[in-house]
Chains A and B, each alone.
Chain A
Amino acid sequence: MKATDLRGKTAIVGVGLGGLPGVLNAAPNRSSMEIQTEAVHQALTDAGLKPSDVDGLFTGSSHAFMPALSTAEYLGIRLKISDTTMIGGSSFVGHLLPAAMALQYGLCDVALICYGSNQGSGFGKLKSMSEPQTYEAPYYPRHPITSYALAAARHMHQFGTRREDLAEVAVAARRWAQLNPLAFARDDLTIEQVMASRMVNDPLSKLDCCLVTDGGGALVLVRSERAKDFPRPPVYMLGTAMAHWHRQISSMPDLTVTAAAESGPRAFAMAGLAPADVDVVELYDAFTINTLLFLEDLGFCAKGEGGAFVRGGRIAPGGSLAVNTNGGGLSCCHPGMYGTFLLIEAVQQLRGEAGARQVDNAHIALCHGSGGVLSSQVTALLGDASTL
């Protein structure tokens, strides 16, 4: 038994979104569970399945203490296995691992990964179940932005990264969002506008921060041997790896290096791939600095060169590397935790159904989830049938 045995053994056969603008229901006065369930319904319909077909549940929540119990009860389903590993926003990319293992060992036959939140309409601001950290709280860090600001400041100090480089990330995300009818933020945006937006935690301004929106996402997974029995083209899990080194920012060993530097190489090793093989990149961009850190740590550029790498629209539509093609957390949606949306966008790209934002010849996608304050890192490589 080895990790590489999981390569290609699990297939995503259904994806669904909920609570986003455009074709889906973005009305106010919808609960987190209602938004999540809209996404679940869309994913199951996509897969040609009913709720009663689901016998494995992998979920997390910003509102429910025992989310697997709440979700299963709401759907009226009886489960053989559930897992609610909670490592922040990366949890749902992380759920690929227990889901793949449970499917592979026959502990379940249809695995559902899901999340939903009405964080935008329900709270109107970032709301977190996160407990205060005893040795940080006395200094009133604003959670979570202060932590990311400290990382950005250190990156700028150590590598000469500029605020314009951070702004370039926000503008690229917006340009992708303008191609996505489901994205929340689609107005024109320039580097100058990002630079001029209200400073929140130096060096991060309001437009360096992700949105606070509603949203739900769900995915249906089965063993690959059954994948061709489903209506949509299957997308295969080629490699997934997790790493975490700290919980609070004061315990992060080096604020310029995330544990993606470990999860990335392990995921690539499981998949038998390298960064140059990747056609589409979906990175958890809670703040603009994330994108730079993950491009570096995952090997798309050298450490410290993230700022230079993104200049000149390199990760925007028409650039040389397609990054955050749905508009990301910065411009598409960010309902408290964003992990499911990384996977769903990758699946849509690999199926070739991403419309105006479709990346040509997309066969391999990288999804990278981050949770906490750059704390938990999960990298997943997905591929279409040609990559098996």
Chain B
Amino acid sequence: MTNAFNGPGPDAVFAAALAEGRFMLQQCDECKKYVFYPRVLCPHCGSPELAWQFASGQGVVYSTTVVRRKPEQGGDYNVALVDLSEGPRMMSRVDGIPPHEVSIGLAVCAHIIDDPKKGKLLVFTPAQGGVA
């Protein structure tokens, strides 16, 4: 059993894994549901028995917006909510296509990139085949 009260906190574990290029999700040993963002208690059932699993990286865009920004400040960019195939939803962005072409329902897969400001950053790109 992986009691989340032991050792480094789940925030630190997630960040350390991401820094090494791995996208990890917690899964509750009690109710079997996946948890994101990382926590010490399962938000579904209250159990502290949360085990780390490799995320599949597969997801679908739940909603999307283009944050408008002047070209000289870097131009428009995408912010999306992605429903992971394991169940949880997360904020991220979809790279690889213009920000305004990201659409709700688009199948995406996760990538860990080197962001100049944020270090390792989890983003998504359209999956092979496109629409989920």
Contact = CB atoms under 8 A, between A and B. Distances in A.
Instruction: Report whether chain A binds chain B.
Output: yes
Nearest to A255: B63
Contacts, number: 65
A202 B78 CA distance: 10
B91 to A, nearest CB: 4
Contacts of A135: 36-37, 90-91
B65 A139 contact: no
A200 B68 contact: yes
B81 interface: yes
B62 interface: yes
Contacts of B67: 140-142, 146, 201
Given A138-B118, A146-B79, A154-B104, A249 B68 contact: no
A220 B80 CA distance: 44
B109 to A, nearest CB: 17
A133 to B, nearest CB: 8
Interface residues of A, number: 26
Interface residues of B, number: 24
B11 interface: yes
A374 to B, nearest CB: 12
A146 B65 contact: yes
A372 to B, nearest CB: 15
A136 interface: yes
Contact of B64 (A150, A199, A248, A251): A150
Contacts of B115: 138
Contacts of A149: 65
A136 B91 contact: yes
Nearest to B82: A250
B77 interface: yes
A201 B67 CA distance: 5
B99 to A, nearest CB: 9
Contact of B65 (A150, A198, A250): A150
Interface of A: 134-136, 138-142, 146, 149-151, 153-154, 157, 198-203, 248-251, 255
7 contacts: A136-B91, A139-B93, A140-B79, A141-B91, A146-B67, A150-B63, A249-B91
Q: Which 6 A-B pairs have the closest CB atoms?
A: A149-B65, A154-B63, A250-B91, A150-B63, A135-B37, A202-B66
